[in-house]
Amino acid sequence: MAGTGNLSAVLKKKGELVLEDTATPLPEKNEVQIKMHVVGICGSDIHYWLNGGIGDFIVNAPMILGHEAAGVVSALGEGVTTLKVGDRVAIEPGVPCRMCSFCKEGRYNLCPDIIFCANPPVNGSLRSFYCHDADYCYKLPDHVSLEEGALLEPLSVGVHACRRAGIRLGHNVLILGSGPIGLLSLLSAKAMGATRIIITDLDQGRLDMALKLGAHHALRVDTRDPEEMARRVEEALGCKPDISVECSGAEPSIQTGIYATKSGGVLVLVGLGPPTVNIPIVNAAVREVDIRGIFRYANCYPRALEMIASGKVDAKPLITHHFPLEKTLDAFETSRTGAGGAIKVMIHCDQ
Ligand code: NAD
Ligand code: ZN
């Protein structure tokens, strides 16, 4: 199956996203070739497209976008015994070195040599055919759709955030920001036993979605005064949250997260905004509010899949828009502008 006919969404350089045929890859040892079915657009894809880079990751050469993906196994490389042709799989996009101390400790998301789809210079999976390490592909049960398989990627971020936060039965939780990551953190927090969840955003449409997904309170942010927002959180909840999960990256929102969290509680920073921000660090220090970062996820795909397969979590309402691969630019434009209440935009590669 080598040759052309592999339609791919290639970011040539900042602002220039084109569709073109690339060579169809053949699976190497321990890899599978996947006929791609669906790829969700992530904020980072939009960022690379519009800005040509994120932090130290700069697009210096053409790169295929996409990393929230699922498809059907179309060929096996040498040594693959765990999957067969025809299996429907979700693709965990980061493959670590498996050798370093982080990998050995199970914190493979921190591996300095991790190869991650659509992180320059590594190509992503928004194309017709793509090859990936078989052990980073997860076979989906028949009743789990490939779209849900693609959602396992951002859901894993939510699972990892809630694990790092230590969310357990009975916790009251504040989630700041109700984009896809905030909404999937909401679903994860609920599944892990949070009793009451309050969520914030600037946008009422996103808050409405949060309520639909089971948030108990939704607060629209209409002031840049973080102490005022923290007071409103406490008022709505009747107490300060045990745990806060920041999913916007906006400075005032991080500040609110600190002020709002109860003494001895935890604030997890998921949102990645400006590299340097002002935060009320003394307030956090003297109230023993633990501030923890997260980077993607490790060992979360199996748990996220279990949550979906068991019916404990229904993430499907997040999917608001569908486009064929040929209409990738329209899909990116819709995701960028949030037109039509867009939350998660899916691109179908095999229509
Ligand atoms: P998004 O941009 O779709 O959502 C962010 C939401 O925050 C938006 O709905 C926006 O209206 C809201 N917001 C903006 N300012 C706010 C404020 N002051 N208070 C409350 N809400 C505010 O992005 P997303 O895809 O949901 O991702 C969320 C963040 O998580 C991004 O910063 C992204 O870079 C980051 N992220 C981090 C990791 C990680 O590994 N740490 C992984 C994935 C995404
Ligand atoms: Zn490693």
166: domain CATH number is 3.40.50.720
How far does the centroid of ligand 1 lie from the alpha carbon of residue 269, in Å?
10
Residues 134 and 199 in one domain: no
Residue 308 lies in a domain: no
Residue 144 lies in a domain: no
Residues 49 and 124 in one domain: yes
Residues 272 and 341 in one domain: no
Residues 6 and 112 in one domain: yes
Name the DSSP class of 127: B
Residues 249 and 288 in one domain: yes
Residues 91 and 216 in one domain: no
Report field, pTM of the whole predicted structure over 0.95: yes
Residue 163 lies in a domain: yes
Residue 133 lies in a domain: yes
Residue 39 lies in a domain: yes
Residues 120 and 57 in one domain: yes
- Taking only the tens of pLDDT, the chain with its 351 residues reads 454 589 999 999 999 999 999 999 999 999 999 999 999 999 999 999 999 999 899 999 999 999 999 999 999 999 999 999 999 999 999 999 999 999 999 999 999 999 999 999 999 999 999 999 999 999 999 999 999 999 999 999 999 999 999 999 999 999 999 999 999 999 999 999 999 999 999 999 999 999 999 999 999 999 999 999 999 999 999 999 999 999 999 999 999 999 999 999 999 999 999 999 999 999 999 999 999 999 999 999 999 999 999 999 999 999 999 999 999 999 999 999 999 999 999 999 997
Residue 300 lies in a domain: no
In this structure, the strands spanning 172-176 and 243-246 are parallel
Residue 150 lies in a domain: no
Residues 130 and 170 in one domain: no
How far does the centroid of ligand 1 lie from the alpha carbon of residue 101, in Å?
30
Residues 82 and 173 in one domain: no
Q: Which residue range(s) make up the domain with 206?
A: 158-293
Residues 233 and 337 in one domain: no
Cα–Cα distances (Å) from 288 to 230, 237, 284, 291, 334, in that order, read 17, 21, 6, 9, 42
Domain count, the chain: 2
> Which ligand is in closest contact with the Cα of 45?
1
Residues 186 and 126 in one domain: no
Given ligand 1 and candidates 45, 181, 185, which is best to mutate, with the most ligand atoms within 8 Å of its CB? 181
Question: Residues 111, 112, 115, 120: is their CA dihedral positive or negative?
Answer: positive
Which residues are placed with Cβ below 5 angstroms of ligand 2, an ion?
A: 96-97, 100, 103, 111
Residue 192 lies in a domain: yes
Q: What is the dihedral of CA 51, 136, 300, 348, to 10 degrees?
A: 50
User: Which CATH number do you get for residue 57?
Assistant: 3.90.180.10
Pocket residues for ligand 1 (CB within 6 Å)? 43, 157, 176-182, 200-203, 206, 221, 247-250, 252-253, 270-273, 294-296
Q: Which atom of ligand 1 is nearest to the CA of 160?
A: 40
Residues 94 and 8 in one domain: yes
